[in-house]
Structures are given as C-alpha cells and as structure tokens.
Amino acid sequence: MDESSETAPLLIPRSRRNSNARVSWNQSPYIGGQLEILERRGSVSDNYEVNNLGRRDSSINGPHFGLDFESENIPLSSDRRGSTQYNAINSSSRPRSPLATTIINAPLREARSTRVLSDRFESLDYDLVENTLLLKEEAQQTFVRVNRIQTQKWFVMFLIGAVVALIADMVVIVVDEISEFKYGRLRDLFDRCSTTSGDCLVQPLGLWILMNILPVLIGSVIVVYMSPAASGSGVAQVKCFLNGVKIPQFLRVQTLIAKIVGMVGSLTGGLAVGKEGPMIHIGAIVGAGISQGRLGPFDFHVFENFRSDAEKRDFVSAGVAAGIAAAFGAPVGGVLLILEEGASFWNQSLTWKVFFCSLVSVFTYNSIIGVYLDRPGDLSNSGLVNLGVMDNMSYLVYEIPIFLLMATFGGLLGAIFVSLNVWLTAFRHKHITSRVARVLEVVLIAAVSATVGFLLIYFIDDCQMMRDVTPQRTVQMLCSDGEYSTMATMLFQTSEKSVRNLLHDAPGTYKPITLGAFVIAYFFLACWTCGSWIPSGQFIPGLLIGAGWGRLVGIGVMRLMPGVSIDPGRYALIGAAAQLGGIVRMTISLTVILIESTGNITFGLPIMITLIVAQWIGNWFNSGLFDVHIKLLRVPLLDWEPPPLSSHLTAKDVMSYPVYTLKTTESVGAIVDLLHKVTHNGFAVVDEGELRNPLSDEPDTFGQMRGLILRSQLITLLQAKVFDQRLDIAAVRKRLNIQTFRDAYPRFPSIKSLNVTEEERRYTMNLTPYMNHSPYICYLTTSFPRIFKLFRALGLRHLVVVNNRNQVVGMVTRKDLAKFRVEMHRGKIKVEELHISNELRATTLTKGFP
Amino acid sequence: MDESSETAPLLIPRSRRNSNARVSWNQSPYIGGQLEILERRGSVSDNYEVNNLGRRDSSINGPHFGLDFESENIPLSSDRRGSTQYNAINSSSRPRSPLATTIINAPLREARSTRVLSDRFESLDYDLVENTLLLKEEAQQTFVRVNRIQTQKWFVMFLIGAVVALIADMVVIVVDEISEFKYGRLRDLFDRCSTTSGDCLVQPLGLWILMNILPVLIGSVIVVYMSPAASGSGVAQVKCFLNGVKIPQFLRVQTLIAKIVGMVGSLTGGLAVGKEGPMIHIGAIVGAGISQGRLGPFDFHVFENFRSDAEKRDFVSAGVAAGIAAAFGAPVGGVLLILEEGASFWNQSLTWKVFFCSLVSVFTYNSIIGVYLDRPGDLSNSGLVNLGVMDNMSYLVYEIPIFLLMATFGGLLGAIFVSLNVWLTAFRHKHITSRVARVLEVVLIAAVSATVGFLLIYFIDDCQMMRDVTPQRTVQMLCSDGEYSTMATMLFQTSEKSVRNLLHDAPGTYKPITLGAFVIAYFFLACWTCGSWIPSGQFIPGLLIGAGWGRLVGIGVMRLMPGVSIDPGRYALIGAAAQLGGIVRMTISLTVILIESTGNITFGLPIMITLIVAQWIGNWFNSGLFDVHIKLLRVPLLDWEPPPLSSHLTAKDVMSYPVYTLKTTESVGAIVDLLHKVTHNGFAVVDEGELRNPLSDEPDTFGQMRGLILRSQLITLLQAKVFDQRLDIAAVRKRLNIQTFRDAYPRFPSIKSLNVTEEERRYTMNLTPYMNHSPYICYLTTSFPRIFKLFRALGLRHLVVVNNRNQVVGMVTRKDLAKFRVEMHRGKIKVEELHISNELRATTLTKGFP
C-alpha cells in the first residue's frame, strides 16, 4: 500500500480548493485500502473540470471576483494530516459546528477502503425530463389514452407477477426433484452401509461430494463466465437500484439465465444458501424486462411509454415484491420490504399496483404448486419457503425476557457474521481474482460442505428411537435398527425443510449436541458461502442457524422448568428471527414475512420485539450485511436522512465548481469535444447575456441558467444530426419526437461511436426544445440538508446551483451528497467526508455483492 | 340558492385575470350549493392582493411590462358561462391539451358544493425554516446532544404508545362493564316477560330506549358544547393533518376529553358505531400532546425541540398507529394505515419509531386487559376489536369466484352507503344547524336504534334450540323454554361481539331471515349514525353489516352444495372485508388489520383480492367515505399525484399574482399594516435592486428574491420588538434565539393583540437573520406536475415563483395546486378547476367529519 494514500483526505469542501490543489490531489490517487486493485488514470478527473466551452478564457484565466480561489491556494502536500484547515476556512463566515471537528478528528490511519466512494457508479434519472417534446406529446394525448396507459400498467403488473411465480414454480420443482433423487440415493447408500463395516462409507462420501460439486460447478461456471452480476443474492443491488444507482449488468437477460441456473446449482449442490435472495433479483429482472417490452436484442415495440428510469423503477419494485411474495408466500411482506429497503417517495397508486403484482404472484405460484403436490385447487399452501403453519401457540409474559436475551444473542451473532464476512470479502478481493480461482472456491465450498456434513454425522452420536412423530424421511446411518440419525436427517434435505422441522418437530426430537454442532458448522459454512461466485440467498441460512440455537435454548428452558409444557419449536422461531434480524437488520418487513410464512399471527409481537432488539444490538457494532457490502463496493448510496448537524454546509461547499455549461445554441464541435472530454451526464444550458457584479463575493458564474440537458439527449441529438444549418432541418425536427429518445433508452451509444464530419462540427444545434427547461435548482446558500431532501425525495441526479441572479455557479450530484456519511459505532455518531475515487476498474463494479 | 352562484367558475387561471376582474369576482361570491351558509366578506380577499409595500405606486399603478394585464381585462360578468376563454388565452403560446377542454366541458350546472375549496383551512409548515438562528443553534450542538434528542424521541414514542393503550384499556373496561350491566338487565327483563303476556314488553322496551338515550345524551352534549371537533371518527381529520392541512381544534385537550366521554356514551348507548376511529383520533391527540410537553394551558418545558409542525407530524403518526394497534391488536396494520392514508415522504428511521410505538401500545394494552380478563401474563389476546382467532380454515380455488362476487356486492353496497351518507350530510348541514338540534338528532338515533332492535326481535321468529355450541349469552325473549332468540342475542351485546359471533358461530346458528333483517336495519342505522354529533367509528359497523350478509351467502352456498362441508363463518369474514373495503376503500392496511385481528393468515390472499375488487367497484361510483367528506368540507387536500395531462400548466398559470413582498429591512409600520390587511402566512423577502428588462414578456416583478418569512415569525419579532432603532437592540437580538419561536408555537397571537406605538411604526426591522434564506423556489416555466411533486414530497406551504433573473413574480400555495382535481367517475377521468372560497364560517370548519 502506497504511503502517500493517506495524505489527501477530503477535509476541505471541494469548492474551496483551487484548481491547482485539486489537480495535485488527483494525481496522487487515494489507494483504497486492501480491497481494490487500482489503475492510475490521471487524465480523467472525477470532478467537474474547469470549463465553460467557448468561454474558457474568461472563466478560467480571466479575473476572479469575490471569493478569490487563487489566494486560498492550499497545497495538499503529504504532511498535512488532521490539520485544522477545514475550520480555518470555515470559521470566517459561519459558526463552527461539531461536524467539522469530527471530520478532522477522524484518525487518518483508520481510513479503510470503505471510506471511499467510486465515481464509476452512474446514477439513474428518476426525475422526468420535461421539455417541449414531452409537452407536444401530452398535447396530443387524451384522457382515453391516459386510461389506456393505466390499463397497460396493470396488465404489465399482472404479467410480472405471473412470470415471476412461474419461474419460482419451475425452480422449486426442479430443485425438489433433483434433491429428492440425490438425497434418496445418499440415504440408500448410507443406510446400506450401516449394516456392514465402516469402510464402505468411503463410497457414499465420495458420491456425496461429487453430487455437491457437479451442480455447483455448472452454476458457478455460468455465473463467472456469463454474468458475474448474477452472483450473490441481489438484495444489495436492488437496494442500490431503487436508491438511484445504476449497477452494471444487473438487469440483463443473461443475468437472469445465469441466476436461475446458478440458483438451481447452488441449491441442489447442498450449499448453505437460500432461494429468496435470488428470487428477489429474478423478480427485479423480470419487472424491468417485461415493462420495457424487450428481450435481450429483440424489441417488441410494446409498452414504449414505460421506457424511462422512473417508470422502470416502479416495475422493478413490483417484480421484487412479486419475488418475495412467491418465495415466502408473503405478499404484504414483499410490499413492505420494498418500502423498508428501497422506496423514498411512496405513492398510493403505486402501492396498489405492487400489491396486486404480489398477489398475482402468490396466486399463480400456489395454483401450480398445488397441482404439483397433488392438491389441485388448494391455495392455502404458500411460498417457496413454506415454514409450515404453526398453530395453537401461545406465550406468557415471563417468556419475554428470554426472548429479549435471545434477540441480544442473535444480534451479537449477526454482527460477528457480518464482520467475518467483511474480512472474507477483503480476502477474496485480494486473492481470488481470476475466474478459475472463483469457480474453484465455490467447488471447494461444495466439497467442504459435504465433508463437514459427513464428519458431523460420523462423530456425533445422536441416534433416536423411531417414534410415531418423526420427520418425514429418516436416515438410519450408523445407528442401530429401529433408530435413526437426526443429524443425517437434517442434512439430507433442503435447508427450508430443515428449518421447518426445527420449528415443528415434537419436543425430544433433537439432542442438544446435534443442534450445537450443526449450528456451529452451518454458521461458518454459511458465512463462507456468502459472497462467493454463485447465486445465494442469506435468509434461509440465517433462519436455519437461528432455529438451531433457538431450539437449543428451548431445550434448556424445558430442562430448567420441567413442570411447564414448553414447545421448543417456539424458541426455534424466535431464534430464527433473532439470527436473521441480526444479519440483515430489517424489522417490519421481516416481521410480516415471518408471520406470513409461518401463518401464525400470535407470535407477531414477540417476533417484532426480537427483531427490533436484534437490530439495535447488531447496529451497535456494524451495519447490516447488505449495507456493509454496499459500502465495500463504494456505492454512492443516499441515506434516508441528511447527516445531523450538517446545516452549516451549503451548496457552495459541496457543489462541483467550476462546471461545464452549454449555450442554448451551441456549436456541434464544442458539444462533441465536451462529451469526449468528460464523463458527466448532465450539463447546464445557459445564455451568455451575463450580468456580472464585480463587487459580489460570489464565485464566478457560467452564464444565465436556462435549462439542463443530459448526455444521453445530446448523443441522441447528434445521432439524429439535428443541426441548424441542414437544409432539411424542419423535416428532421418534425421527425424527432419523444419516442426517438425512448427508443434509444437505456443503452445510448458511446460518443466514440458517433461520426461527426469536420463540416458538421462547424454547425450549431439549438438545444432549447430538448433541454429540461425548468429543472429543480438551488441557491449557493441552500443548506446541505435541504439539498439532500430534494435529492432523496425527488430522485434527482443533478442539481444546478445558481447565484441570486439565477446564474449558474455549480452543480451538485449524488456523489457530492453521498460522500458525507454518518457512522454510528458503539453508540457514537461520527460524520465522515468520503473520498471519491475514479480508480475502480469497471469489472469490479459487478462483483462481490453478497 | 342564489342564481348568481353559478356564474363565476374559475375557468381562467387566476394569474391571467386582472385585478379588476378579481375584485368583481370576489364581490359576487360563489354560494357553495346547499351545504354552507355563507357570510359575505367582501373586504378580505382570498388571493394575494396587488401590493408591494413601500413600492405600491410602481407596482400597481406604474407601468406594466410584458404581459399586459390591463389589456386582458376580462370582466367576469354573470353571463359568462362555459365560455372558451381558457383556450382563447392559452392557445396562443402552448399546445392545446385535453385538460383545458375538459375543464371547459364540465357543465357548470353540475358545479355542486364539492367543487369548492375553502380558503379558511390553513396549511402546516412541514418544511423546516432554515435561518441564521437555526444555524446558530446547530453550531452550539454536539453529537452528544443529537444522541440525546434521538433518545428523547424514542422515549416520547414509548410514552405515546403506553398512554394510548391505557386510554384504550380504560375505555374498553368501562364500556364492557356498563354494557354488561345494561344488557344483563334487559335480558332479565325480556326473559321474565316471555313467560307472561306480551303487554309487559312495554317496560323493557322503555328501559332499553332510556338506557340508549342516557349515555348518548351525555356524550353528545359534551361533544356539541365542549368540542365539536370530537364528533365523528377522526380518520378524515388525521388524513388532512398528515397531508398538511390544519384542522382547527383537532388536537386540543378538550377534544380528547370530549372524544373519550362521547365514545363511551355512543358505545354504551348501543349506537351502530365502533371504537377504532375514535381511537385513531385519541392516538393523534396523545401523540401531539405528549411530544409538545404541554397539557392545555400548562407548559412542562420538556421536549422543546419537538415544537414544530414537522416534528409534531411524526409523533401524530406514531399516535395514530398506536391507536390502531390498540384498537385492533394490529401493530403492522397501524404502520401501514399511516402509510396508505397519510404519509408522503416516508423515512426508515421514522418507520421504526412508529412501529416501536405501536408495539408498546399493543403490549401495554394486552398486559392490562389480561389482568382484567383474569389471565394475567397472557399476551396473546389482542386488541379492542378482538375478532377471535380463526383456526383451521382453508379454501379452495372454486371459492374464489364466489369471493369475487361478494367483493363486487360489497363495493356496490359501500358506494350506496357513501352516497346515502353524502345526501344525509347535505341535509344535516342545511337543517340541523343549532346545537340543540344536533344533540336531539343523536338522541333520536339512540331511541330509534332501540326501537328498531325491539321490532326486529318482536316480528322475526328465529327461535333456535339451545345446543351445545351456542353464543356465550343467550336470550330467551319470546321463544319457548329451551330455545333462544338469535336476534336478541345479536342485539344484546356490543357490536364487536356480534361480529365475532358471526365469524365463529357453528353452522346453523342463524336463520337467513334473521341475518337479512338485521343487515338491512343495521345498514340504515349505521349510515344515519355516521356523521352525527357524537364520536363514531365506521370500521365495526362496516364489518358487522358485511359479516351479516356474508354469512347469508355462506348459508346459501351450503344449501346449494349440500355435500361439501362449508363454514359460513369464512364467508362472513369475506363479506366483512368486502363491505368495509367498499366503504373506506383501503386495501393493504385493511388486509393486514383483518389478518392481525383474526389471527388468521391463510385467508390473507382472498381478503386482499376481495378488498382490491371492492375498492375498484366502489371507486367506479364515488370516492371512499373519508375522501367524500373531506371534499364536502372543501379541504384543500393534495392528492398523491398531479392530475394527468397537466404539464401544459405552468407556475405562471397557477401562481397567485401579484404578491405581497417585504424588504430585507422593512419599516415596522409597513409590516403591521400588511399583517392587518391580509391573512397570508408567508411573504417573500426581497431586495429592491431590480434589473427590470422592459423587453421581457414576463409578468412584473416584485424585487430580487432573498428569502421567505412566515407570518408567525413576523408576529414573534414584533412581540419581541426587534427594532433596529432601539438602543438595546444588540441585547434584544442576543436574547432572541430559536427557542423564542418554539415557545410561541403553535398558538401565535393575532396581529390585533399586538401593541405598536406610533413611534415604533417608524422604526425598521432587519428580517435577514430570521427569514428562511434559501426556500425552495420555482421558475415561471416550471410545470404544474413538477410544482406538485415538490409540494407533496417536501410538505411545502409556500413556493416562491421567480423569473429567470431570480426576481419574485408570484407565489404558489397549497390551494393553488389543490384546486385542480381529478375526478374518476364510472371509469372516466375528468379534471376540474375548483373554486376557492373564503365564505365558509369558521365554526363550520370543525364540523361534519364522519
């Protein structure tokens, strides 16, 4: 690690740095801890570079007014550590705030790689571009058409729900059949073996390992070589997407295929994974795919009105909810998860549509699975992860303290799980970098899973008498006749069934030693599997670990109070909730999901209390699993609320300055050059008629604000060659409507692929009809919390900062806000200003989500 | 009704009218149909009047630039009906939109009173005022203090949950005891009578009527004379409050007392009402009260940081959720109802706090009620409205069509209920206007309820053999020995118990004739009671009516398919959902509430489907009960989304113009005069250094935008006499901090109560440190949907409109947006521009909510 990496923490709001300082800072890139292998890319700046095309001289080299950026030339040399610069600059005009102090006091050597945001994650445009074309389209619309689009929306919601459920049905049936075959064979082999000598165990062990490795290998190869974005669960990516961050490859068709195949592989391969996370991802892809009326390269030219980030988000939300609904039989839980993890501005009519989609999903899933299970017409069965209906359970007030202790334990164990996984992820990023290594790791996990299982069965003596009430399938293993091995029974079935058995089996079914050993082994296996290169859900492993130790607690309570009739399954349920809550830190949605999938409402209250406490305890130490991985990947996620005590920061402090602007009628050459030069996605459109006030103490301006135009729009315009000097410009303009932009969505060509001749470069383009003529703006004095709320509530991507004559002075983007992050650690609040790095390789964007 | 009332529909966006036109329009006030008795108040304008204090000459009588308002002098005389003015004005610059057409085509004679918004409803300030004082306070804060405020918040949430639950416990115990006594007496009397001749029935009937009248009379008198805002359920008011509309008296302590007493009265009086609605209102008051650290006139000086509309909203939300949680034992349902009906911008940390509050509420409620019911420590009992746990219910796919038909019927019946109630409300507003009449109506309802009950028992022969499985208490009535009257049994208990019995009683308990007669009678009684001057919830009546006809359907299905074992209780549940859904039109929250209160998850799916269909069918005809009443009361509620096809409307069209502005340093006299003259609550603060462009086609401007100041702030400043010319001004300024403003919240004195001497009038005030220096603003060209989203997502009250030199040109308030309303009627969309009237008497603001 480069020593100089610790030298340039962003202690000074960027706008206060002069361009020299910024360049030097750019040229000594921050090496992000151990997680990322960095390339030096000195030439592409991560800031809005000094520019105003066509007026470059006046803005850069011309006179500076007011706040003199030259005179504050603070070289960020390597010996400036933890200095009080931030205050020195701030104290003049504003009252000192503890925020500043905290940022300074954060010891620099603690700066791990999670304190960096990547510049490579692009944002989504959840704000509608309102330009003349849109008005034109609206003018041609009628209420009949509005109705038709609404009907289409409901129809698409129906389709999404049905398709997600069909995929869930398919997966569950395939996995069931394969598992049945696999574990049937294994059971037979092991049972045959118990009658003869121990040596014959080698053959079934070998077969077990083989049967684990084979499907996992197939799944992993497809994921690693075809679509790395399909690895992990997908929950973290969904969260990023709904927050407004684009995750590359995340919604592609090949990701869908890889996810389904990989999921079947990991499930039948006996890994410690679940299928709910992948179902969420599958739901998201189906939602995006169907609503866009496209399948890979094929365009069906339907639902073209839905081709925008904002519309797509609604359908992705619905797909995610449908995925959860199918996975857990929990339609309300699905809607709530979207709400708890994703949404910011929530809307009643969208809620209804998402709810409808969830319902369709559950309904379709149940109808088909009913036929498969030979109970056609019975819709009461629910969800992939049917935890079984828990009836007639009640609890007493003195049990609440026990539940609270369990919640605390679950929170602790969850925090340990997350920390271990973070360490593992760091190790993976550093050492397991080649494709082959990634596949091999997964294969190794599969082999170890089988071996550990075998060792558990072999060394733990837990033979139980066959009784009336036994699990569906028993395995005799090494036990005498008339007995069976509970450990083998637990291992020789899918994880969901194990959870169900732990919740429902009669008291006395499990020995404490069995549960203890199983929980410990499964905990480490699950932690290892999480984040490896295969689709894997974390919900079922969490539930299974928790149900295991929860039942252990139940057995303990039974022994302590022999007189009272206690059902250990009840403690298993609380344990499951505590463990899963400790890992993922959700509350409301998880409560409802657990209620819906156990079909038991009586336990709602203790489950909720358990989840809330587990979350509190876990958050004391670290963030939830998905949040931690989002941080590790340096995603510029916007939190729910602005950091506390940040009101003293204003737009002036956080904005990118200077900015690139375009004139309302701009030369084609200038536009092409700009797009080549920078990677920014939005540009302020200005008029030149400036009214500079030499006495003002404000930053230099870049022209009178007129509107905002996106890179994608500029590229579409260049492609259509809407140049004012063309002879047929009227016809070209007429042809160009909002549909042209929708057709190009979402994969706009790169600027490099466009051909612009030398003659065309001298032409001009009138941007007025295409730009967003009234984007949301803010003043230089607007405080950070206000800007934050604006971004969060309206899903903005760019916010133009104007002075009080409405002249453009800066630009705020998501990263400028996301870099101020609150850390709550062991009860203390801290606000950090993160570093924004463009030094992340593009391929790493898709990797490593849990 | 005055004929001239139909003459001045607002077909022309107000900004296009010149001031003459507006004055004449004010002087022929719109008489709002039959519902309101109007006072003429010609002097107070409902618009921002032409003004710019201190520069009055230049702005009103001076030269007009650009859009010449004089030349568009359109007299709104009484013969202008349904003209095409709107288009004539619009067509010049913008493409024609069907919205314009629709507004025109709306026949004027249809303009009923629901097409009017009242100007008297004030908005709440959900947007934080960020001024120098706030920054100063923040600068003195530390993260420790931030943590402390957070802890306080959790603590207040705990208190709210506990207090709401205690009130619920108290109410339920009191009502239970009184009802037990009352119905016990009645049962005895009637049973004794059945053995003798029929004449002796007069005495029990008389007693019944008396026992109904007495508590109802007490409740009604208290409500009518002490706090009219306590009548009805409170759900509609909560919805308005969360939307940002202030409902007078709604959150006062006397309203709480009146609500509790009235609720006990209406419940023990045997009216067709429930207690969940009132519990919601009680929760809201408790939430507001505790968080403000005040009880009526007493100020405990605690939680002073929470004294703002924005903070209060969070606590009110929590209180409402706690109310539902206690009423139904449905903590998740409570959170969801807040979400479905109230929230716009939803926030994870708030969700958790609200959820926690709900949990505390359920927990406290159950603990105490467990002691009351002699089952201490058993927390499984849940909710005021315990519908009883429905176990072992399953359903088959062929039942779904039956459920759908029931949903359709429920939706229809719900729409009829709403329409009848609207008619009744109109009647009430017109004829039952005196206090005595209001009390008498309620008493009449109580008497009629008893009489109808008696007639039902008397005329309907439904004697049933006593069997093993019978309801808890049976009444023999006119039946022979060994038999009992099911009708009497249904009537001689609280409504909740009747619902529970309908869901749980064994097949064959009820005769169809009993159910039919009961449903019809109860339907009309409930509809009559709804909206009368006593606290009344609509949930239980809805459930009871639905459960009645649902069970009837169940009996029908049983007869049609004699071979199949069918539990009619299942159909009762679906019927209950359909009926309630048809009346209130909620979906997700109601599903969860029903799931939570029946403790049965298996039926989740059919309940959801039923609710969605019932909502669709009902919405085909009218809005939900609460929405209709909100419209009848002319509340300027902002919908979830802007009306479709409204993009062609811009800020220019909807803003109030001209506006009143204040200078950054303004004379005290001018401020006092302004506050006396107008009732507006927000004023733009400007600098005079204008840069008018005589060539611009924009409206006249009112100075360079500097900030926004609220009436309440101005009054506090005047009270503190922060006048620049005072000798001790430095000391005064120092003393004045943000706490001064918090202490004054929420009951700022009237401007009339302030004493300003003639000398002080000549002083000036510097508004800069107190104004919000960077309010959200919009451009003249900003489209209606964008403005709408800004208001809805951020909870704004005022939005300053600036031209593209950042000069103030207009002001948009909630009413300017709320007046464009979408009507969906029988599948057709229509957008109306409503009239804004200031002609509503202040007293009527608090009345008539259902």
Residue B319 is predicted with a pLDDT of: 95
A394/B380 CB distance under 8 A: yes
Q: How confident is the model at residue B288 (pLDDT cuts 50, 70, 90)?
A: very high
CATH code: domain of residue B608: 1.10.3080.10
Put simply, the chain B residues between 695 and 754 with a CB less than 8 A from any chain A CB are 704-706
Decide which of A632, A661, A692 is a domain's last residue.
A632
Distance, in Å, from the CA atom of B747 to the CA atom of B749, rounded to the nearest integer, reads 6
Q: How far is A387 from chain B (nearest CA, A)?
A: 13
Whether A96 maps to a domain, the answer reads: yes
Claim to verify: residue A376 and residue A404 sit in the same structural domain: no
**Is A344 part of a structural domain of the chain?**
yes
Q: Per the CB < 8 Å rule, is B97 touching A138? A: yes
Given a cut of 70, whether residue B394 has pLDDT beyond it is: no
Which DSSP helix (H) or strand (E) runs through B446? helix B435-459
Amino acid present at B213: I
**Cβ contacts from A onto B, under 8 A:** 272
Inter-chain residue contact B97 with A644, CB threshold 8 Å? no
Q: Which of A715-719, B145-149, B389-393, B767-771 has the lowest mean pLDDT?
A: B389-393
Chosen from B105, B317, B339, B348 to mutate, greatest number of chain A CBs within 10 A: B348
Closest CB to A130: pick one of B347, B356, B647.
Answer: B647
> Which residues 6+ apart lie within 8 Å of A837 measured at CB?
A29, A30, A32, A38, A46, A116, A117, A118, A119, A634
Q: What is the ipTM of this complex?
A: 0.81
Instruction: Collect all residues of chain B within an 8 Å Cβ-Cβ radius of residue A585.
Output: none
Residue range B379-399: mean pLDDT, rounded = 60
Whether A659 is covered by a domain: the verdict is yes
Could you give the CA distance from residue A170 to residue A791 in angstroms, rounded to a whole number?
40
* DSSP secondary structure letter of residue B330: -
Residues B736 and B664 in one domain: yes
Looking at the structure, do residues A723 and A797 belong to the same domain, yes or no? Answer: yes
Q: CB-based contact (8 Å) between B405 and chain A?
A: no
Tell me which of B323, B356, B384 is where a domain ends: B384
Query: The CATH number of the domain where A767 resides is what?
Result: 3.10.580.10
Q: Are residues B613 and B548 in the same domain?
A: yes
Contact: A98, B142; criterion CB under 8 Å: yes
CA distance B218 to chain A (A): 37
Task: Flag whether residue B779 sits within 8 Å of chain A, measured between CB atoms.
Answer: yes
Identify whether residues A678 and A557 lie together within a single domain: no
The pLDDT-based confidence of B850 (bands split at 50, 70, 90) is low
The closest alpha carbon to B537, from B510, B499, B507, B506, belongs to: B499
The reply to whether A680 and A791 lie within a common domain is yes
For the stretch B555-584, pLDDT in tens is 998 888 877 777 888 899 999 999 999 999
Distance CA A518, CA A453 (A): 9
Q: Is residue A776 part of a domain?
A: yes
Q: How many domains does chain B have?
A: 4
Q: What pLDDT, on a 0 to 100 scale, did the predictor assign at position B639?
A: 83
pLDDT tens for B222-268 read: 999 998 889 888 888 888 988 888 888 888 899 999 999 999 999 99
Q: Tell me the sheet residues that pair with B811.
A: B656, B800
What are the chain B neighbours of A377 within 8 Å (beta carbons)?
396-398
B503 and B387 Cβ atoms separated by less than 8 Å:
yes
Cβ(B288)–Cβ(B319) below 8 Å: yes
Greatest distance between any 2 Cα atoms in chain A:
98
The answer on A800 and A667 residing in a single domain is yes
> What pLDDT, on a 0 to 100 scale, did the predictor assign at position B838?
63
Distance of CA A352 to the CA centre of its chain: 24
Instruction: Using an 8 Å CB-CB cutoff, list chain A residues near B370.
Output: 397
- In the stretch 183-242 of chain A, residues with CB closer than 8 A to chain B read none
Mean of pLDDT values over B381-400? 61
Residue contact A376–B363, C-beta within 8 A: no
Residue A609 sits at the chain B interface (C-beta within 8 Å): yes
Query: What part of B 808-847 touches A (C-beta under 8 Å)?
Result: 827-830
Q: A656: which DSSP letter? A: B
Helix (H) or strand (E) holding A665: strand A665-667
Contacts of residue B52, Cβ cutoff 8 Å, sequence gap at least 6? B58, B59, B658, B659, B660, B661, B702, B703
A3 touches chain B (CB under 8 A): no
Closest Cβ opposite residue B588 in set A141, A332, A773: A332
A782 touches chain B (CB under 8 A): yes
Identify the bridge partners of residue B656 per DSSP, sorted by sequence position. B811
Testing the interface with B: which of A357, A570, A601, A794 to mutate, by most B Cβ within 10 A?
Answer: A601
Angle at B434 between CA B429 and CA B440, to 5 degrees: 95
Distances (CA, A) of B584 to B349, B580, B599: 29, 6, 22
Taking the Cβ of residue A783 and every Cβ of chain B, the question of whether any pair is shorter than 8 Å is answered with yes
pLDDT at site B220? 94
Contacts of B377 in chain A (CB under 8 A): 396-398
Interface contact A146-B829, CB threshold 8 A: yes
| Closest chain B residue to A613, measured at CA | B356
Asked if B452 and B521 count as a contact pair (C-beta separation under 8 A), the reply is yes
Surface of A (575-594) touching B: CB under 8 A = 587-588, 591-592
- B32 lies within 8 A of chain A by CB: no
One domain for residues A59 and A152: no
Mean pLDDT of B187-195: 73
Share of chain B above pLDDT 90, in %: 25
Distance, CA of B733 to CA of B731 (rounded, Å): 5
Q: Are residues A378 and A272 in the same domain?
A: yes
pLDDT value at B182 more than 80: yes
B404 CB within 8 Å of a chain A CB: no
Of A396, A777, A790, the CB nearest to B377: A396
Tell me the shortest Cα–Cα distance from B43 to chain A, in angstroms.
36
For residue range B814-834, list pLDDT tens digits in order: 888 888 887 776 667 777 777
**Domain contains A829:** no
Q: Where are the alpha helices (DSSP H) in B227-347?
A: 235-243, 253-268, 276-292, 309-328, 331-337
What burial class does residue B759 get, using C-beta atoms within 10 Å of its C-beta: 0-12 exposed, 13-18 middle, 19+ buried? exposed
CA distance B772 to chain A (A): 10
Residue identified by tokens 């900003």 is B782
For B160, other C-beta atoms within 10 Å of its C-beta total 32
Paired tokens of B651: 């800020």
Q: What is the mean pLDDT of chain B?
A: 77
pLDDT over threshold 70, residue B805? yes
- Continuous segment of H or E residues that includes residue B546: helix B539-560
* pLDDT-flagged residues of chain A (< 70): 1-114, 194-199, 342-346, 376-397, 467-474, 476-478, 599-602, 689-699, 825-827, 837-850
The overall pTM is greater than 0.90: no
B604 and B693 in a common domain: no
Backbone angles phi, psi at A149, to 5 degrees: -65, -40
Range of the domain at B17: 1-107
Which three-class secondary structure string do you get for B733-777? HHHCCHHHHHHHCCCCCCHHHCCCCHHHHCCEEECCCCCECCCCE
Is some CB atom of chain B closer than 8 A to the CB atom of A648? Answer: yes
**Contact (CB<8Å) B344/A346:** yes
Residue finishing a domain among B384, B411, B446: B384
In the predicted structure, residue B68 carries a pLDDT above the cut 50? no
Q: Establish if A391 belongs to a structural domain.
A: no
Q: For residue A71, what pLDDT is reported?
A: 31
CB contact under 8 A, A774 and B786: yes
| pLDDT value of position A444 | 95
Q: Does B395 touch chain A (CB under 8 A)?
A: yes
Per-position b or e across B244-266, b if 16+ CB within 10 A of its CB: bbbbeebbbbebbbbbbbbbbbb
User: Given CB atoms, is A310 within the 8 Å cutoff of chain B?
Assistant: no
In terms of CA atoms, which chain A residue is nearest residue B353?
Answer: A612
Distance from CA of A594 to the nearest CA of B (A): 11
Task: List CB contacts (< 8 A) between B595 and chain A.
Answer: 332, 601
pLDDT higher than threshold 70 for residue B74? no
Q: Are B287 and B320 in contact (CB under 8 A)?
A: yes
Same domain, A678 and A786: yes
User: Using CA atoms, how far apart are residues A477 and A456, in angstroms rounded to an integer?
Assistant: 12
- The pair of structure tokens assigned to A200 is 């014959």
Contact status of A772 with chain B (Cβ, < 8 Å): no
Q: Could you tell me if A93 lies within 8 Å of chain B, comparing CB atoms?
A: no
pLDDT value of residue B617: 93
Same domain, A533 and A615: yes
What mean pLDDT comes out for the span B432-442? 91
B130 belongs to a structural domain:
no
* Minimum CA–CA partner of A134 in chain B: B647
* Residue B85 within any structural domain of the chain: yes
Region class of A480: left (phi > 0), else alpha (psi between -120 and 50), else beta: beta
Kindly compute the dihedral angle of the four CA atoms of residues B468, B472, B478, B482, in this order, to the nearest 10 degrees. 20
Search chain A and give the residue with CA nearest B831: A143
**A264-to-A217, A282, A448, A540, A544 alpha-carbon distances in Å:** 11, 13, 19, 15, 19
